[in-house]
Structure 1
Amino acid sequence: MSETVSFGYEEVAPEEKTRRVGAVFSSVASKYDIMNDAMSGGMHRLWKDRFVRRVQPREGEAILDMAGGTGDIAFRMAARGAELTVADINQDMLDVGIERAMERGITGLSWSCQNAEELTYPSRIFDAYTIAFGIRNVTYIDRALSEAHRVLKFGGRFFCLEFSTVEWPGFKDVYDAYSDHLVPRMGEAIAGDADSYRYLVESIRRFPPMPRFEQMIRDAGFGKTKVEPILGGLVAIHSGWKI
């Protein structure tokens, strides 16, 4: 049998997942941030602020923000003086970010269309690597983690913000019902695309639980790994160091 990977609850060929994930984000790019506000009640902004505080970007640091197309994380880190490279596999998402940067008068960011599993950057050039709400969409997570490790300098740090597995029993039931029934309807009403948001919910369910993902980060070569659950594991900040 040929190899398959998960696309939501489906099993598809690896190249088919890459193509379909690209189509999802091309479809939702223009409404992506509006939907984030609607789905999270604006809480995604607080999660991202917390995430950037954990990264602690510093003046002059070279940081790669992977899957950062719309610029949400990069804008926050650039405000602290870091030198940001924003990379995303989807040019439509990058175009949204570039337009937002121009509207806000934010300059000095580098924008690049990149596959997280096969980065074109030389080894050991970044001080930090960040990825927020993106790693669950790559075809091979282990390859993306390996590439993150490769492009970091020794002493560099890895930070990932991602949806995870809710561990609070009562909250889990409410969240599951909300995700299954309301998120696709919101996707249809706001972005005109219920199917893409149904996939995004399913991709969260298929993502490895926090302990398993932390082990994957260690397997990629990172040390001093840490997991910080937020809202009982609704989202989590994962981190590690290249030592």
Structure 2
Amino acid sequence: MMQETTHFGFKDVATTEKQSMVRSVFDSVASKYDLMNDVLSFGAHRLWKHYTISASNVQAGDKVLDIAGGTGDLARAFAMKVGDTGQVILSDINAAMLSEGRKNLINKGTSGVEFVQLSGEHIPFVDDSFDCVSIAFGLRNVTDKDQCIREMHRVLKPGGCMLILEFSKTDIALLEKFYDFYSFNIMPQLGKIIANDEESYQYLAESIRKHPDQETLKKMVLDAGFGLCEYHNLSGGIVALHKGIKK
């Protein structure tokens, strides 16, 4: 019987092994994750996340789940929107990233956020629990993306909003050439210099290229049962925000 395989960057690996391999990447980069995001994106990741929050329709009193929430940027912003009457859960499969998120939120004086270690493929909450579920720069690291999207759909309330912020595909030829050069030549070297980890940032560059393009991801969202899905390209399509509404 042949073993099922999936991709880990440009490599084919056993499906059962990917999760632990991704975990080791984020164990390695957790302490420098925010610094590297600022350096690698020239600070643009903060603008992308701000746009995501503004597109969310989250209001005071809402209940929000942030999957693969890492160091807590979205969770902190959501906490400010939902206020004392709402609830925000910051989740991540990786304990080291979750620890960084907890530390960041405490240092910034954000209270009321709950922390849960979980896999996006198996969300331990009942159906129709949340007004909004988000995942930013995490879906491409999930082994079974379709299963993750189905789980996000399941735990959303009818009329609830799903947000997927992720690297995507630009159709601007000159930008694509620059981005390819930057991703495979500059990004791993910056990872080596700043985070002492060239290999993890080589994987991250490769994982971006293996992620579905905008239209493919939109179809995946609709196939998972969402009644509506629209996407907005940011920075020329280098990043895209997909927004799905549960029927």
Provide the TM-score with structure 1 as the length reference: 0.98
Q: Percent identity?
A: 43
1:11 equivalent in structure 2: 12
1:90 equivalent in structure 2: 94
2:143 equivalent in structure 1: 139
Distance 1:205 1:2 in 2: 24
Q: Over the residues paired in the alignment, what is the CA RMSD in angstroms?
A: 0.8
Asked if 1:126 is matched to 2:130, the reply is yes
Distance 2:61 2:95 in 1: 26
Question: What stretches of structure 1 move > 6 A for 4+ residues in a row?
Answer: none
Counterpart secondary structure, 2:55: helix
1:231 equivalent in structure 2: 235
Asked if 1:46 is matched to 2:50, the reply is no
Using the TM superposition, give the Cα deviation of residue 159 of structure 1 relative to its aligned residue in structure 2, in angstroms. Answer: 0.7
1:242 equivalent in structure 2: 246
1:204-229 deviation line (CA, Å, top 9, x unaligned) = 00001110010000010011110101
Counterpart secondary structure, 1:55: coil
Distance 1:123 1:92 in 2: 28
Distance 2:224 2:199 in 1: 33
2:68 equivalent in structure 1: 67
The correspondence for 1:116, drawn from 120, 142, 146, is 120
Distance 1:72 1:117 in 2: 22
Provide the TM-score with structure 2 as the length reference: 0.97
1:161-203 deviation line (CA, Å, top 9, x unaligned) = 0000111101100110011100000001111100000000000
Structure 2 portions without partners, runs of 5+: none
Look up the equivalent residue of 1:242 and give its one-letter code. Answer: K
Using the TM superposition, give the Cα deviation of residue 123 of structure 1 relative to its aligned residue in structure 2, in angstroms. Answer: 1.0
Distance 2:73 2:8 in 1: 25
Counterpart secondary structure, 1:79: helix
Distance 1:87 1:174 in 2: 34
1:195 equivalent in structure 2: 199
1:69-127 deviation line (CA, Å, top 9, x unaligned) = 21011111111124210110001001001011111111100100000001111111101
